Amino acid sequence: MERFEFIMILLKSPDQLKKLEYVNRLGIEFLDECYEYLKPGVLTVELEDLAYKFCERKQVKSAFYKYQDFPHMVCVSVNTEIIHGFPSTYSVKPGDLISVDFGVIKDGYVSDAAFTKIIGKTSEIAKKLVKTTRSALYEGINKARFGNRINDVSFAIQSCALRMGFDVTRDFVGHGVGFNLHEDPKIPNYVKKDTINWALKPGMALAIEPMFVEGSHEYKISPNGWTVFTLDNKLSAHFEHSIAILESGPVILSKTSLW
């Protein structure tokens, strides 16, 4: 079992992790730009334009554009949209929850991170949802350390949701990252009995991304084939960081001071 894990998971060397950290800093530079840019009246398609200009300026590629035929450079999900929202002519309103997911590719390395921003004043339940999802991200990261397993991360995230009265998505999960946008291992946001409970090892690079919902975890897919909505039309929030596992513990590669 241990040998199988070693073969399947792409462990990174210290030098590769430094390069991956640099690429993640670039990705976070754009996400921070989006975080500050978002305000009432902004059209979500404006973030697509920002992404195009950013990639051109930094000489990087969007990790999302054309990935499995995804048609945009950035995911922008609004309120009841869980993930994979399309930038559009939607005008951001006070009280909205706007989730932005983005990654870049440079020199063969891939970044991935996401945030949810509250626009102006909103309901107490919306504030609680966003705060809880963000807290779960860091609780999951804290468990992503050498000697633990994937289920330790999943349990920490799921427990955070349940004790605050929320639920987690089932079919959309965190993942390995680095040389490709999605690598092994999968990291569910709940303890899933039929998944491989990988041992966590130094050199792993993981994208941990809790997606919490206000109501039921059941979902529906938009006719566009990508955007995932809550089935009960209740709110959703999404946070994500790419991290590296070292012998000394987890290190956030996509570190930011804004969110």
pLDDT in tens, 69-100: 999 999 999 999 999 999 999 999 999 999 99
The answer to whether residue 244 sits within a structural domain is: yes
Q: Quote the pLDDT of residue 8.
A: 57
The answer to whether residue 130 sits within a structural domain is: yes
The answer to whether residue 74 sits within a structural domain is: yes
Alpha carbon 205 to its chain centroid, in Å, reads 14
> What's the pTM value of the predicted model, to 2 decimals?
0.95
Beta bridge partners of 246: 249
The answer to whether residue 258 sits within a structural domain is: no
Alpha carbon dihedral 138, 242, 72, 22, in 10-degree steps, equals 130
Q: Quote the pLDDT of residue 6.
A: 42
**How many domains is the chain partitioned into structurally?**
1
HSE-up of residue 215 (Cα within 13 Å, Cβ side): 13
Beta bridge partners of 83: 228
Residue ranges in the chain modelled with pLDDT below 70: 1-8
Residues 6+ apart with CB under 8 A from 149: 197, 198, 199, 200
Q: Which CATH number goes with the domain that contains 217?
A: 3.90.230.10
The answer to whether residue 259 sits within a structural domain is: no
Q: Please choose, from the candidates 209, 202, 207, the residue with its C-alpha nearest in 3D space to the C-alpha of residue 245.
A: 202
The answer to whether residue 41 sits within a structural domain is: yes
The answer to whether residue 257 sits within a structural domain is: no
Residue span of the structural domain in which 171 resides? 2-252
The answer to whether residue 24 sits within a structural domain is: yes
Beta bridge partners of 228: 83, 221
Q: Quote the pLDDT of residue 9.
A: 76
* Mode of pairing for the β-strands spanning 183-187 and 174-176: antiparallel
Instruction: Give the relative orientation of helices 124-143 and 150-163 as an angle to the nearest 10 degrees.
Output: 160
